[in-house]
Amino acid sequence: MTQRDNEQLDRVRDVFDDWAVRGRAEGMAKSHTPFVRPAFELLELAPDARYLDIGCGDGYTVRWATQAAPQGRAVGIDLSAEMIALARRMSADLDDVEFHQCAFPEHPLPHAGFDTILSMEVFYYLPDMGAALEETLRLLAPGGRFTCMVDFYGENEASHSWPEDVGVEMTLLDSAGWRGALEDAGFDVADQRRMLVPADEASEPWKATEGSLLTLGRRPE
C-alpha cells in the first residue's frame, strides 16, 4: 500500500478505536440492527455454514451466525484493535467464534473458506475498494454470497457530509455504482434493495426514506 493508503487506514482505525473505548460500539450495533438483521436473514445460513463479517465491530452478527449455523464457523475481522478486543469480551462464552484484527484486504483467512460474507458500512472507507472487493470474492467458495451494505451512498443525501463530520475520506457511489463495483470485481449481482425502517421507529428521517443500500453478490460456480 502507498503512504497515502496507510494514512487513510490509520485515520479510520483511530476513529473506531475511539468509538470502542467511548462505548459507541454498542450504540452503532443497535442502530444498524434494524437494517442488518433482515439482510442477515437473506443469507439463509445452512447449519454448517462458514460465515465471515468484514468490519465486525463488536461482533454482533458473528454471534447471530453461531445461532443460525451451530455446526459452522463464525469469524469476524476488523481494522480496530479496540473493536476486536470488545468483540472477544462480548463473545467470551462462545466456543465457535474467532476474531482477527487486520487491515483488509490483508487478512489471515483461507481463500474459498466461506459460504457467506456480510459487511456493513466498511468498503467505502478502504483506499482501494476494487482490490478489497476482489479479495472478498476470493474468500468465498464457488456459489457463495456476499451482502454489502452501506448507508453512505449517492441517493442518501443526508449522508454526504459524513466524510467531513468524521474526518476521514470515503468513496461515494450511487446504487448503480455499487452494483458496477461488485460486477467489476467478478460478482454476479443477485439483488439490490433499500432496507428501510418504519417512520415511527426511525431515529433519523433518512432511515425511513432512503435507508441502507444492500447489494447482494454471488461468486460464480
Q: List the domain boundaries for the chain.
A: 3-38+49-218
pLDDT for 26-74, tens place per residue?
Answer: 888 888 999 999 999 989 999 999 999 999 999 999 999 999 999 999 9
Angle between helices 81-90 and 3-21 (to 10 degrees): 40
CB 193 within 8 A of CB 214: yes
* pLDDT at residue number 60: 96
pLDDT for 193-220, tens place per residue?
Answer: 999 999 998 889 999 999 999 999 999 9
Q: Specify which residues 217 forms β-bridges with.
A: 146, 189
Cα–Cα distance for residue pair 25/157, rounded to 1 Å: 24
CB 150 within 8 A of CB 124: yes
CB 119 within 8 A of CB 147: yes
At 44, phi and psi to the nearest 5? Answer: 50, 60
Fold (CATH) for 3-38+49-218:
Rossmann fold (3.40.50)
3-state helix, strand, coil in the chain (%, to 5): 45, 20, 35
| Secondary structure letter of residue 212 according to DSSP | E
* pLDDT at residue number 159: 98
